[in-house]
Structure 1
Amino acid sequence: MSLRAELLAPAGSFLSAKAAVNAGADAVYMGGRRFGARAYAVSASSGEEDMLMEAIEYCHLFSVKVYMTLNILFKDFELKELFSYLKPYYEAGLDGVIVQDLGAASVIRRDFPDLKLHASTQLAITGPEGVLLAKRLGFSRAVLARELSLEEIRRIHERTGLELEVFVHGAMCYSYSGACFMSSLLGGRSGNRGRCAGPCRLCYETGGKKAFYLSMKDMETLDLLPELLSAGAYSLKIEGRMKSPLYTAGVVSVYRKYLDLALSGRDFSIEEGDREILREMYDRGGVSNYLKRRNGPEMLSLSERAFRAERAEISEPIRENYLKRERTLPLSADFYVSPGERASLSLTLLSGEGEEIGEIRIVKETEEIAEAAEGRALLPREVEEKLRSCGGSGFRLEKLSLRMEGALFLPISSIKRLRREAFSELRRAILEKRRRRTGEAGQGEARG
């Protein structure tokens, strides 16, 4: 059987989105400043830059998809604002939206017909009937409830044929997402408006005994990845938009390793050191899931977790590899200059195997014209040094060809400016391939 899959990572901030990309995610899901089910995530509460727009550009540079969370229940006046809110992200190339409110889904389908709709887990879809309804309503993917078994996922896949997204790691709610009103009733903060206060994580008393009776252990499914793929799960989703970039990087890197192993068809086994990484990232006193069980006290984290100091031997390699180290795209570069002409720099994207992709090729020239050297001539090593200074650009030169005709003079500043402008134009060209034009596709506010 030919298997394919997407590793979907959480991003509550631009730094988390960057960590997810660097650690190997195929896609990230992230909220903007409004209408997301995590109103207290950094991306929603920051008064500074638009982190989602920044994340879209960074992710698309490395061919990683971005899904925007619009997974709350909307008020009528908010539906009228949805077109203008979503338009800039749509034009930037947003790959899909995760939606709970069926009215919002209808508006999006009308105004942005080519934007993919994903039915949120907040819709509490637990069977084929719910998935088939989502399909009829225009959704291209259903995010299944976390309470399903492997066999239930398999049955849904076989009966519906719709793309399925399944949670594989992270926090579990005591109740069905989207159908829980505990936070709203106890404190006036509705989970269906993105403001869940997490009352199920509090200590309660019954029969004279205090414990965390509603606090679920976290989900972890490393051992079950081959079975999930076989059951028909396509997008494997990691929970954690409220968690740190370190959490995102650590968890994504481990799941990337074992998802690739599962897809390869080779013998599948988990190294204990990788389980330790997951425990170090976040630990509620054990792990559980519904994939092969229905209930039981073993699924609850009844006692309060003791504080645990960070273990540098686990966290520091993750910081170095995914948070501090910049991910870059490999390039082939051709520099040519001769007296009486402008120097030119040609850039071509390379594949991971070092072959030219060829779809995007940039050629830039200097403003200054090279002259025959009367004194000290420009040296090839000087040119190479300046061209290879790629820090912060998102690129690296894997191949560099220098052709310099005779002894000539050209200011070093001119070569540095040529490199910067060429890199900037290449970046724009890559991102432009993902951009859209709204045109007459929608006039949401005008229609009311």
Structure 2
Amino acid sequence: METEVLAPAGSIEGLKAALYAGADAVYTGGRMFGARAYANNLSDEELSECIDYCHLHNKKLYLTTNTLMKQSEIYQLADWLVPFYEQGLDAVIVQDFGAFAFLKREFPNLDLHASTQMSVHSVQSAALLEKLGASRVVPAREISLEEIAAIRQNTSLEIECFVHGALCYCYSGQCLMSSMIGGRSGNRGRCAQPCRLPYVYEGKEQFWLSPKDICTLQILPEILEAGVDSLKIEGRMKRTEYAAGVAAMYRKYVDLYRKKGKEGYHVEKKDIQDLMDLYNRGGFSTGYYQRYHGVSMMSMKRQNHYGTEGAMLMEQRKGGQLTFKALENLQKGDMLESATVAEDVKKGRIFSMKVRDAGRLQKGGIWNRTYNAKLMEGLKEKYIGKILYEKIKGKLMIFKGKPVILTVTYDGPEGRITASQSGSIVQAAQKQPIAEERVRKQMMRTGNSPYLFEHLQVVMDEDCFLPMQSFNELRRGALEALQEKQLQAYQRKSDKSGKTGENSPEMEKVEAEKSANDGKQEKKAKLSVSIERADLFEEMLQIEGVKRIYLDSKCFLDFRMCEQIPSMAQRCQGQKKELWYIFPSLFRTKDQELWDQQMKQYMTCFDGMMVKNPEQIAYLEQIGYDGTWAADYNVYAYNKEAKAFLRNLGCSFFVCPAELTFKELKERDCDGDEMLVYGRIPVMTSTQCLKKSAGHCQKTPDLFKVRDRKGKEFPVKNCCSYCYNVIYNSVPVSLHGWSEEVRKCSPASVRLAFTTESNKEAAAVAKRFVKEYLWGEELGEPGYEFTRGHYKRGVE
């Protein structure tokens, strides 16, 4: 396919402006299941209108259904999508594994795009999704050009990559910070963006977790040569001028590359300046395409729109009167921070403004222009409210005694479409005959239709007459018939199987397995523990009641510790305990290579493997692993469809999602699964390194803390062997005193996750949960700060 410029659309106005500006496709959300719940999402009627509008202009519309779906929601998806599917919806963007499987079954002819929220980092997971039916993948924003090229070379998937706009600090789909702090889940489209807030690290308050926006115009040839098919612009919640302006800019440079190639490619400085004026955070970076991380990618001084440097403060007088020196040409209506410029000001000129609540400001301080009035007005005039037209040809035949006939022809990318319309009988003129030029002028007025006559042939008798109203009706009817024919090429019948609920083959298999296991499950759940430090192993081994020990990959950041694994396995076997391994949070190509060298040889020592992302599922299949594996809670088996999907891939059980309530977990069904009842939830996993950002990365694993504006401290681990940071919640989830509520969910095991605890603290917690959950003792408060997580409050 030719390179696609893909723009965000938060409204009909924005969609039309972006397409007029040169976008080939748009992505937008409807009233359900979109990852921008607070955007001005389209109503069903608006979405239907937009699908037709795109298709009439040979553009595409991709619908965002990229949230995790609860059991009570997932079967609403099919009924909602049916009319849009039949209308010709081009694709849906999906995060939820259950939604992916469900849509593939119900709408087999609908293209599925794997969202960046699926955390696809490598060839393995991309190839797995292709095998399962995806047509396009939107890989993690963090992957490099080299990794993109590998996906291109080893799959036939279309590749869509973000090229402009906001970056997340955390790998998309792996962030629980907004969820755990305030109950607004990024996985449900309600992220509160806590990463944009200030934090204190090493005694310094900055926006440590706020990346700059990306702008990739400078490296666009390299991105295209890596094999990217679709250039995605972030910004469904930004203003219409932004979407149109950025789309126009990328259209310009894609066309320039097509015309002149890499050698003739050059980016004008003014174009970067205009993009800066539209929106940026502390300047631009080129993202992760050519570098792994670094302080140059971070906007630690400012988390919101930076704009451009507009003026320098020269003097402050009483009453909020400020004197500035213009650092660039300013226009009336521009904003310097929150103050509006009252007149045009040339660069270098000294001028004054009165600023409300000026306070005490630093002389010599830079005031940024955060609104460029001339640029915004220009974009509004050029793109907003404009109508796209498709060129058509027509032939109008006017013969006395016969119906007037208009034939219109459209030559589109899929071939020629023709429609004819006959009208009233043409009369002989009694007084003034109709003139050809007048008829032509009347017929050329196509108004708000999507068409514009490129050529109109008029063949007519002399001395004939027909009212102008008849010609208007004829034209309207012919163009409507042409439009209907053009849209018919996209329309299709619903392929719904009719087996949308628990009667589907996948769900029948799950229910059959459940029935076969009924009566076999123990009344009390087994107790598992996971540890992130190898020195905790001995402590956990000696605790009676612990039946499974998970060794997290962080136990082996010093790879010399791997040599202890055979001995650990032998000792567990002697104590009749299972020993499992938990994969790293990330598993990119370089991580796999490292793992192959250091850990692969010890796989047979473990009773099972716990995976944390799609890469690892694909990896186990690739190497022919025939042992047992399970999916950790961040693989997101939110619903029964997701469980069935992953079971078909070989998953033996699931760790229950951390964002569902007890009620929602019961609806989802936890039989055979594991539930986290204690542990600090990792709320962010990032390739950015706080130590590197602070300027002293020593490539040594460490545990440290960042503090938020409310004084809450969040532990951070830098996992240097795999080069990523994990930020944990400020307090652990603890379900002490709730053993009965947990039991009603019927998990096969409950899990204690030890992350930052000392040996003494971990042992005390483990012994407490053994007494309560296994022996039924009633105990008082635990003596540590905790949260109940989402088990009662849930997320929207």
The TM tier, using the shorter chain, reads over 0.9
User: What count of residue pairs does the alignment treat as equivalent?
Assistant: 438
Q: Is the 8 A contact 2:106 2:495 kept in 1?
A: no
Q: 1:284 aligns with which of 281, 285, 305?
A: 281
SS across alignment from 2:72: helix
Distance 1:4 1:397, change over 3 A: closer
Give the equivalent residue in structure 1 for 2:420. Answer: 363
SS across alignment from 2:103: helix
1:328 equivalenced with 2:328 (yes/no): no
Instruction: State the distance in 1 between where 2:229 and 2:201 align.
Output: 42
Instruction: State the distance in 1 between where 2:85 and 2:503 align.
Output: 19
Deviations 1:99-154 (A, max 9, x none): 01111111111110011111110011111121122122211111111111112212
Offset at residue 443 of structure 1 (A): 4.5
Offset at residue 167 of structure 1 (A): 0.8
Q: 1:310 aligns with which of 361, 371, 377?
A: 371
Instruction: State the distance in 2 between where 1:327 and 1:416 align.
Output: 21
1:273 equivalenced with 2:270 (yes/no): yes
Give the equivalent residue in structure 1 for 2:134. Answer: 139
Instruction: State the distance in 2 between where 1:250 and 1:440 align.
Output: 40
State TM-score, norm by structure 1: 0.93
Instruction: State the distance in 2 between where 1:67 and 1:258 align.
Output: 23
Could you say which structure has the greater relative contact order, defined with CA pairs below 8 angstroms and 6 or more residues apart? 1
Which segment is superposed worse, 149-158 or 105-114? Answer: 149-158
Offset at residue 60 of structure 1 (A): 0.5
1:300 equivalenced with 2:298 (yes/no): yes
1:62 equivalenced with 2:118 (yes/no): no
SS across alignment from 2:74: helix
Which segment is superposed worse, 431-440 or 232-241? Answer: 431-440
The residue correspondences of 1:229-248 to structure 2 (distance < 5 A) are 229-248=224-243
Offset at residue 349 of structure 1 (A): 1.2
Which segment is superposed worse, 86-95 or 127-136? Answer: 127-136
Give the equivalent residue in structure 2 for 1:19. Answer: 17
State TM-score, norm by structure 2: 0.53
SS across alignment from 2:480: helix
Offset at residue 432 of structure 1 (A): 1.3
Offset at residue 71 of structure 1 (A): 0.5
Offset at residue 208 of structure 1 (A): 4.8
Q: 1:43 aligns with which of 41, 44, 65?
A: 41
Q: Is the 8 A contact 1:81 1:445 kept in 2?
A: no
Offset at residue 55 of structure 1 (A): 1.2
Higher helix share: 1
1:347 equivalenced with 2:402 (yes/no): no
Offset at residue 61 of structure 1 (A): 0.6
The residue correspondences of 1:295-444 to structure 2 (distance < 5 A) are 295-304=293-302, 305=306, 306-307=337-338, 308-350=369-411, 359-366=416-423, 368-438=424-494, 441-444=497-500
Q: Is the 8 A contact 1:84 1:445 kept in 2?
A: no
Letter matched to residue 438 of structure 1: S
Instruction: State the distance in 1 between where 2:173 and 2:380 align.
Output: 35
Offset at residue 178 of structure 1 (A): 0.6
Give the equivalent residue in structure 2 for 1:33. Answer: 31
Offset at residue 283 of structure 1 (A): 1.9
Deviations 1:20-64 (A, max 9, x none): 2111112111111001101111125x6xx6322121111101111
Instruction: State the distance in 1 between where 2:259 and 2:441 align.
Output: 40
SS across alignment from 1:321: helix
Instruction: State the distance in 2 between where 1:442 and 1:311 align.
Output: 54
Give the equivalent residue in structure 1 for 2:577. Answer: none
SS across alignment from 2:73: helix
Which segment is superposed worse, 273-282 or 169-178? Answer: 273-282
Instruction: State the distance in 2 between where 1:320 and 1:422 align.
Output: 32
Letter matched to residue 412 of structure 1: M
SS across alignment from 1:420: helix
Instruction: State the distance in 2 between where 1:416 and 1:4 align.
Output: 39
Instruction: State the distance in 2 between where 1:200 and 1:331 align.
Output: 51
SS across alignment from 1:168: strand
SS across alignment from 1:42: coil
SS across alignment from 1:324: coil
Q: Is the 8 A contact 1:377 1:408 kept in 2?
A: yes
Offset at residue 447 of structure 1 (A): 4.0
Q: Which runs of 5+ in 2 are unaligned?
A: 307-336, 339-368, 505-796
The residue correspondences of 1:151-162 to structure 2 (distance < 5 A) are 151-162=146-157
1:115 equivalenced with 2:110 (yes/no): yes
Instruction: State the distance in 2 between where 1:309 and 1:79 align.
Output: 42
Q: Is the 8 A contact 2:108 2:495 kept in 1?
A: no
Offset at residue 412 of structure 1 (A): 0.9
Offset at residue 8 of structure 1 (A): 1.3
Q: Which runs of 5+ in 1 are unaligned?
A: none
Instruction: State the distance in 2 between where 1:111 and 1:37 align.
Output: 22
SS across alignment from 2:54: helix
Q: Is the 8 A contact 1:100 1:119 kept in 2?
A: yes
Q: Is the 8 A contact 1:123 1:177 kept in 2?
A: yes
Offset at residue 417 of structure 1 (A): 1.2
Instruction: State the distance in 1 between where 2:415 and 2:398 align.
Output: 23
The residue correspondences of 1:163-178 to structure 2 (distance < 5 A) are 163-178=158-173
Deviations 1:62-121 (A, max 9, x none): 111111111011111212111101111100101111101111111111110011111110
SS across alignment from 2:153: helix
Letter matched to residue 266 of structure 2: S
Offset at residue 160 of structure 1 (A): 3.1
Offset at residue 156 of structure 1 (A): 2.7
Instruction: State the distance in 2 between where 1:42 and 1:5 align.
Output: 28
Q: Is the 8 A contact 1:83 1:442 kept in 2?
A: no
Which segment is superposed worse, 357-366 or 236-245? Answer: 357-366
Letter matched to residue 287 of structure 1: F
Q: Is the 8 A contact 1:110 1:442 kept in 2?
A: no
Instruction: State the distance in 2 between where 1:128 and 1:294 align.
Output: 18
**Structure with the greater alpha carbon radius of gyration:** 2
Q: Could you list the runs of 4 or more consecutive aligned residues of structure 1 that deviate by over 6 angstroms after TM superposition?
A: none
Q: Is the 8 A contact 2:17 2:385 kept in 1?
A: no
Q: Is the 8 A contact 1:331 1:397 kept in 2?
A: yes
Q: Is the 8 A contact 2:420 2:478 kept in 1?
A: yes
Offset at residue 206 of structure 1 (A): 4.1
Offset at residue 263 of structure 1 (A): 2.7
- Counting aligned pairs with the same residue, the percent is 44
Distance 1:447 1:265, change over 3 A: farther
Instruction: State the distance in 1 between where 2:487 and 2:425 align.
Output: 31
SS across alignment from 2:393: strand
SS across alignment from 1:227: helix
Q: Is the 8 A contact 2:68 2:188 kept in 1?
A: yes
Offset at residue 435 of structure 1 (A): 0.7
Q: Is the 8 A contact 1:83 1:445 kept in 2?
A: no
Q: Is the 8 A contact 2:411 2:417 kept in 1?
A: no
